[in-house]
Structure 1
Amino acid sequence: MSLPVVTVLMPVHNGAEHLLAALDSVVAQDFADFELLVVDDGSDDDTPEILAGYDDPRLRVLRLERTGLIGALNRGLDEARGELIARLDADDAMLPGRLGRQVEQFRRDPRLVACGADYLLFGAAEGVVRTPRSDADCRAHLVFGSPIAHPAVMLRAGALRAGGVRYRADYPHAEDFKLFSELAEVGTLANLAEPGLRYRVHAGQISQLEAGPQRAMHLRICAENLAARGITMSVEKLERLLWPCGGGLLAALRYALRSLPEVVLLGWRSNRAAGVRQALIVGRERLRALLSRSGAAS
C-alpha cells in the first residue's frame, strides 16, 4: 500500500457536536490522496461512536487515554504517514480546494515548511481574517504574533523531523506559535492568498477559556523572537504595545499618538520594510479593537 501525500491531523476531545461536519469537509476535498488521522484524546461523549460509524477508508483513528492537546498533537506527528501534514480542529471546517492549493504551494517551493491560509469566522463572530503572504512578511509578523492560523496550516513532515521541531509542552496555549517560530529557522513560511478554513468562534474554545494565559504565552514568544533579532524588550512593555487596555475614542487616540509609533519603530528595527508593513497592520487592528470597546482606558 502506497503512502499518502497528505496526513490530515485532527485531535479531538469530546468534540461530538461538530465532529461530523469537520470530517465531511475533509472528505469533500478535491485532492484525494490523503489519510485522515483523528487522535481521540480520551473522549467520553459520542465522539468514539461517530468515528466508529464514519464510512471512509482514509479515516484512521488513534485512541488515547487523556493526555492533553499538546500530547495528542505530538502523537499525531509521530503517527503521520504523509510527507505533508495538514491541521484541522474538530470544531472547524476546511473550505473546498484547500488541500490541493496548499500541496501546489509545496511543490513550487521545496524550501517551504509551513503554509497556512486566510480564514472565515463563523458562529459567535463573522468576518474574514487576512494573513501575511510572503516569507518575509510571515517572519516579520513573528515579533507581533503568530503569522499562521494553526487549524489552516500544512506542514512539511520531513522538515519537522530533520529540525527536531515539536509542539512544546512548556508553551501551553501557544504551542503552534512556538512551532512556527522554530520552523522559521528551518525553511520558508507562507499563506494562501484566499480563505482555506471556516473557523468557528464559540465560548468553549481555548482562546476564550484561557485568554489570559494564552496572551501571556504569546507575549513570551514575541519577546523571545525579538531577542533572537538582538532586541531586548520586557513582556510588560510588549503587552502595552500589542494589547492596549481600555476602549473608546480617547484610548484609541492615546494609542495612536504614544504607542503606534513605537510599534512601527519596533517593526523597522526587527525586520525593516517587512516589519513596518506588519507593524502597521497590527496597529490598525489594535485601533479598531479599542474603538469597538466602550468605556475609558484603564
Structure 2
Amino acid sequence: MTNPSITVVMPVYNVEKYIVAAIDSVLAQTFTDFEIVIIDDGGTDRSIEICESYTDPRIRIISQKNRGLAGARNTGILQSRGEYIAFLDSDDIWEPEKLALHKIHLDSNPRIGISYSGSQFIDEQGAQLRQAQRPKLENITAKDILTRNPIGNGSAPVIRKSALEVIAFGHHEEPQRICFFDESFRQSEDIELWIRLALTGRFAFEGIDGLLTRYRIVTGGLSANIAAQYESWNRVIQKTSGYAPEFIAQYRDEARAYQLRYLARRAVQMGEGAFALSLLKESLAISYAPLLKEPVKSCTTLVAAVMMRYLPANIVEKLAMRWTGGKVAA
C-alpha cells in the first residue's frame, strides 16, 4: 500500500451531536487520497460508537486516555502517514473542495509550511450565520501570528508534516513521547504552536481564497471560560518570552489589546454584555491599535456589547437576526 497524501487528524471527545456531519464532510471531499485518523480521547458518549459504524477503509480509530485537544492531535500526527496533516475539530465541517485546494497550494509552494483559508460561521444546528473569518492571506509575519492569528481556528490549516517535525520535542514527563503541540495547554495550544513555528523562520504561512471551513459557534458558555482562555493566552506569552524576549517585548501590548477585543466578542456571543464592555475598556487602556487598524470591527463589537448590556433581550434577538442571521456573534 502507498501512503496517502493527506492525513486528516480528528480528535473526538463527547461530540455525538456533531460527529456525523464532520466525518461526512471529509468523505465528501473531491480529493480522495487521504486517511482519517480519529483519536478517541476518552469520552463517555456515543461518539466513538458512531465512528465505528463507518466502513470506509481510510478511517482509523485510535483510543487513548484523555489528554485534551493538544494530546489528541499529537497522537494523530504521530500515527499519520501523509505528507500533509489536516486538522478537523469534530464539531466543524469542511467544504468539499478544501483538501484539493490546499494540496495544490502546498504542492506548488515548497516554502509554505501552513496553508489555511477563511471560515464561515455556523450555529449549533449547522445553519449558516452571516459572519465569517476572512483573514490576511499573504506576507504573514510572526507579528501577524501573535497579534491577529490569521489561521483563525483549528479546522482551517493544512500543514506540511516536515514543518511540524522541525518543532517536535519530548514530553516533559514522558521524554520518549514526541510532542508537537504543548500538552500543558488545554486552551491556546494552537496559537502557541503557530508562533513557535513562525519564529523558526523555516516555513511560510499563507492562505488561499474561499471560506472552506464551517466553524461552529456553540453558545451558552460561561464567562469563566473566557477568563480561563485569557489565562491560557497569557501563558503562551510567558512561554514565548522565555525564548524570544525581544519579540514579545515589542508586540506584547498590541497583541494583548487584540486578544481582549476577541474575548469581548466571545462575551457578546455568550450574552455577557457587561463583561464584554469591561474587556473592551481594558483593551483600549492597553493599546489603541485594534481601534485604529480595524475601526469597523472594533466599533461593531462595542455597539453589540452596549446593546447586549442595556437593551431588552427580545430587541437584541431581533437585531441579531438581521445582522448575523442567528445568535449574536459580534
Bin for the TM-score computed over the shorter chain: 0.7 to 0.9
- 1:132 equivalent to 2:136? Answer yes
User: In the aligned structure 1, how far is the partner of 2:61 from the partner of 2:281?
Assistant: 52
Q: 2:206 is matched with which residue?
A: 190
User: In the aligned structure 2, how far is the partner of 1:254 from the partner of 1:64?
Assistant: 43
Secondary structure of the 1:10 match is strand
Q: 2:299 is matched with which residue?
A: 287
User: In the aligned structure 2, how far is the partner of 1:24 from the partner of 1:228?
Assistant: 45
Secondary structure of the 2:35 match is strand
- Judge conservation of contact 2:5–2:82 (CA < 8 Å) in 1: yes
User: In the aligned structure 1, how far is the partner of 2:147 from the partner of 2:168?
Assistant: 24
RMSD over equivalenced CA pairs, Å: 3.3
- 1:180 equivalent to 2:194? Answer yes
User: In the aligned structure 2, how far is the partner of 1:208 from the partner of 1:151?
Assistant: 24
Which residue identity does 1:229 align to in structure 2?
A: F
Deviation at 1:110, TM superposition (A): 0.4
User: In the aligned structure 2, how far is the partner of 1:85 from the partner of 1:216?
Assistant: 29
Which residue identity does 1:88 align to in structure 2?
A: L
1:242-290 deviations in whole A, cap 9, x for unaligned? 525787xx99x989997664558xxxxxxxxxxxxxx724x54333211
Aligned residues: 277
- 1:229 equivalent to 2:243? Answer no
1:6-45 to 2 correspondence within 5 Å?
6-45=6-45
Q: 2:226 is matched with which residue?
A: 211
Of stretches 162-171 and 78-87 in structure 1, the one that deviates more from structure 2 is 162-171
When the two structures are superposed, what TM-score results if normalisation uses the length of structure 1?
A: 0.80
1:219-247 deviations in whole A, cap 9, x for unaligned? 45357478442635767x86456525787
- Judge conservation of contact 1:7–1:80 (CA < 8 Å) in 2: yes
Q: 2:154 is matched with which residue?
A: 150
User: In the aligned structure 1, how far is the partner of 2:193 from the partner of 2:288?
Assistant: 29
1:110-139 deviations in whole A, cap 9, x for unaligned? 0111111100101158212111101x2353
Distance change >3 Å, CA 138–CA 233, structure 1 → 2: closer
- 1:56 equivalent to 2:56? Answer yes
User: In the aligned structure 1, how far is the partner of 2:220 from the partner of 2:285?
Assistant: 35
1:33-74 deviations in whole A, cap 9, x for unaligned? 000110011122112221111121111111112222221111
- 1:122 equivalent to 2:138? Answer no
- Judge conservation of contact 2:256–2:286 (CA < 8 Å) in 1: no
Structure 1 residue runs of 5 or longer lacking an equivalent are: 265-278
User: In the aligned structure 1, how far is the partner of 2:286 from the partner of 2:248?
Assistant: 21
1:186-222 deviations in whole A, cap 9, x for unaligned? 31001222111011111378x9873222123334535
User: In the aligned structure 1, how far is the partner of 2:229 from the partner of 2:181?
Assistant: 15
Secondary structure of the 1:203 match is coil
Distance change >3 Å, CA 214–CA 169, structure 1 → 2: same
Which residue identity does 1:11 align to in structure 2?
A: P
Deviation at 1:83, TM superposition (A): 0.7
- Judge conservation of contact 2:25–2:94 (CA < 8 Å) in 1: yes
Distance change >3 Å, CA 291–CA 219, structure 1 → 2: farther
Identity of matched residues, %:
26
Which residue identity does 2:155 align to in structure 1?
A: P
Selected match of 2:167 from 160, 163, 166 = 163
1:64-106 deviations in whole A, cap 9, x for unaligned? 1222222111111111110100010111111120001001111
Q: 1:267 is matched with which residue?
A: none
- 1:69 equivalent to 2:84? Answer no
User: In the aligned structure 2, how far is the partner of 1:80 from the partner of 1:204?
Assistant: 35
Distance change >3 Å, CA 177–CA 256, structure 1 → 2: closer
Q: 2:79 is matched with which residue?
A: 79
- Judge conservation of contact 1:142–1:222 (CA < 8 Å) in 2: no
Which residue identity does 1:180 align to in structure 2?
A: W
1:137-167 deviations in whole A, cap 9, x for unaligned? 3533223142212111111111211332610
Which residue identity does 1:212 align to in structure 2?
A: A
Distance change >3 Å, CA 4–CA 257, structure 1 → 2: closer
When the two structures are superposed, what TM-score results if normalisation uses the length of structure 2?
A: 0.73
Structure 2 residue runs of 5 or longer lacking an equivalent are: 170-179, 265-272, 311-330
Which residue identity does 1:167 align to in structure 2?
A: F
- Judge conservation of contact 2:237–2:248 (CA < 8 Å) in 1: no
Which residue identity does 1:286 align to in structure 2?
A: S
Deviation at 1:14, TM superposition (A): 1.3
User: In the aligned structure 2, how far is the partner of 1:118 from the partner of 1:208?
Assistant: 27
